Amino acid sequence: AQKITQTQPGMFVQEKEAVTLDCTYDTSDPSYGLFWYKQPSSGEMIFLIYQGSYDQQNATEGRYSLNFQKARKSANLVISASQLGDSAMYFCVSSPGTYKYIFGTGTRLKVLA
Amino acid sequence: KAGVTQTPRYLIKTRGQQVTLSCSPISGHRSVSWYQQTPGQGLQFLFEYFSETQRNKGNFPGRFSGRQFSNSRSEMNVSTLELGDSALYLCASSLASGLYEQYFGPGTRLTVT
């Protein structure tokens, strides 16, 4: 079965430092997408970044970058220069060729002033 | 451009009742997906609609149903409510089905007593 694993239930990072949130996925589909979403305490899910399985380069969006290692089936999110507003739950999501999202269990990030 | 809207935002129902939740996607988006989020089970995919057709369905009982209208708006219905149906129900829209990022609404918090 398709599965997303996020092994860090909670993390702390000092403001202005970089942090890496881990994600490994398990899919047999040759074509798939990997996403990261942020969910603040308000509850709304916010799209951060997308990586396609055939993309040669790692995706970047502002302070977010996705460290995609296909052979290892990992898709770690790197947040540079952390801000207090980055405190939230972060979900790694895969979308295999079955048109549905599979969510990881999430990592709760707390940015310290 | 307006985001995904969900109504109502909060709902309290009693066991055995039924409930209908509504979702209006971003203008131009034709795919709408529904998710259930609970502390115990995390985020689980319910179903996806594209062009008024159900494209995919998660592992939920038949009490959970949905539909999509010609203007892409979608409704989700839960019949014979159970205590375990208490959850945050998230709707997400995307341009089309497949490897597209989804944009989530604020959710409907359903409490079943």
Is some CB atom of chain B closer than 8 A to the CB atom of A64? no
What's the rounded Cα separation, in Å, for the pair B50 and B37?
22
Q: What is the pLDDT of residues B50-62, one digit of tens each?
A: 999 998 888 999 9
Show the low-confidence residues of chain A (pLDDT under 70): 1, 97-99
CA distance B82 to chain A (A): 23
Structure tokens at A46: 């916010």
CB contact under 8 A, A101 and B45: yes
Instruction: Answer yes or no: are the C-beta atoms of A73 and A25 closer than 8 Å.
Output: yes
CA distance A16 to chain B (A): 28
Is some CB atom of chain B closer than 8 A to the CB atom of A31? yes
Q: What is the pLDDT of residues A27-58, one digit of tens each?
A: 888 888 999 999 999 888 999 999 999 988 99
Average pLDDT rounded to a whole number, residues B2-16: 95
Handedness of CA A54, A58, A64, A67 (dihedral sign): positive
